[in-house]
Amino acid sequence: MSHHYVSKFLTWLRSAAGFSIVATIVIAVVTSIVSGPYLLVNTIITGGMLALVATGLTLMLGVLNIAMFAHGEFFMIGSLTAFYVFTPISNYISENPDSFIAVIGPLIAMICAAIVGAISGIIAEKLVFGPLRKRSTDNWVMNSFLLTVGLSVLLINLHQLIFGADFKGIVGYWSGMPVSIADVFISRDRAMAFVIAAVIVGIFWFFMTYTRMGMAIRAVSQDITGAQIVGIDIEKIVLLTISLACALSAVAGGSLLFMYPSYPTVGLEPLYLAWFVVILSGLGNILGAVAGAFMVALLKVITVEYIGAGWDFVVPSALIILVLIFKPSGIFGSDVRGALDK
């Protein structure tokens, strides 16, 4: 029996997915031995947050066939909400440092970010995507993509118009001593950010795999007509998907507020990185997006470490271009691309 598993493992290793995952792990381990374990820690924390944004993007692509350019703006909405919710809370905490609010206050801010993100996603669907879906039948992917471009410009400038262009940031969510793991000191905020990302990705994976709703979403992403025949309410699934995707992005923005203060174009960097992830891992593959998020995070961290800050767009985008040229379906993607190809 064991021989069977070994040969299966070897086959997996030879596939693009297996090779790239093993290569990522090896590179991560080698570089952290060479330059210090903080590389690994940075990779894991960046990757965790990137996974949230990228799964949302993947969901939009896979289920709704919307190539979302405005996903970073929901990140921005999340961080903005978290800022306005957390500022009064932190004032309260500084007066009564021992109250339980000091522990759950940040969580309240993040939950608010997720809720506002979901609501704004629904508004976007009702005002923007819904009307387009009713009108356009051909060339939906390209038209909706251009529509999200407009949405992105709109949200960025509404932020600037209403809240101003200055940085709206906080000092930190959780005060106290940093956590120490293997000689690396991680601030509590960073550690919690990773824990939150891991918990949310886990819940999300469970939701997509085992609940009726998640199964319905996956069914719609595979075949809309078939899903309709078995009695799935497409309208409801569309609303659910879009609010989930936007909430994921917004909660990432909310929990990273201590690193990325909210300003109009804060969403561009997560957007670029999430797009790298999506192209790398193949469109519409949710688990692949999680793995891809860590790969892109590693790439970014290594680039910053060995080549210098600011190159972290050049090197990843060059690599992604290579992926697009040689394996357009992505590392984990199947070769079926369907509607997205038009």
Partner 1 sequence: MDIAITSRQMNPFDTMLDKLCLTPAGLFGLILLFALPYIPPFNQEYMLRWLIYCAFIGAMSVGFDFTAGFISIVNFGYAAVAGFGGYTSALLVINFGLSPWIGMAAGGITAGIMGLVIGMISLRLRGIFAACLSWFFGLAVMGLTTKMVWLTRGPMGLRTPRLFEADSNVPFYFLIIVLLFLIYLTCKWVVRSKMGLAFQAIGQNMDAARTSGVNPTYYRVFNFTMSCTIAGILGGFYAHFYGILTPDVMHTSKTVEVLAVAYIGGRGSLWGGAVVAFPFIFIMEIIRSSFSNLPGLNLVIYALVLILVMIYYPGGFAYFYDTIIRKPKNKVLRYLLNGRD
- In the complex, what is the shortest distance from the CB of residue 61 to partner 1, in angstroms, rounded to a whole number? 9
- In the complex, what is the shortest distance from the CB of residue 76 to partner 1, in angstroms, rounded to a whole number? 13
User: How far is 46 from 289, CA to CA, in rounded Å?
Assistant: 14
User: How far is 149 from 70, CA to CA, in rounded Å?
Assistant: 6
- In the complex, what is the shortest distance from the CB of residue 150 to partner 1, in angstroms, rounded to a whole number? 4
Per-residue burial over 224-234, b if 16 or more Cβ lie within 10 Å, else e, is beebeeeebee
| Residue number with CB closer to partner 1 (88 or 164) | 164
- Strands (DSSP E) found in the chain: 179-181, 184-186
| Residue number with CB closer to partner 1 (153 or 199) | 153
**Tokens (6 digits) for 205:** 């994976």
User: How far is 208 from 122, CA to CA, in rounded Å?
Assistant: 20
| Residue number with CB closer to partner 1 (32 or 152) | 152
| Residue number with CB closer to partner 1 (162 or 230) | 162
Helix or strand holding residue 314 (H, E): helix 314-326
User: How far is 37 from 34, CA to CA, in rounded Å?
Assistant: 9
Please say whether the beta carbons of 266 and 80 come within 8 A: no
- In the complex, what is the shortest distance from the CB of residue 313 to partner 1, in angstroms, rounded to a whole number? 4
Dmax (CA) of the chain: 65
- In the complex, what is the shortest distance from the CB of residue 117 to partner 1, in angstroms, rounded to a whole number? 20
- In the complex, what is the shortest distance from the CB of residue 275 to partner 1, in angstroms, rounded to a whole number? 7
Helix (H, G, I), strand (E, B) or coil at 160: helix
User: How far is 281 from 275, CA to CA, in rounded Å?
Assistant: 10
Site residues (vs partner 1, CB under 8 A): 67, 128, 131-132, 135-136, 139, 141-143, 145-147, 149-154, 156-161, 165, 264, 268, 272, 275-276, 279, 308, 310-311, 313-314, 317-318, 320-321, 324-325, 328, 340-342
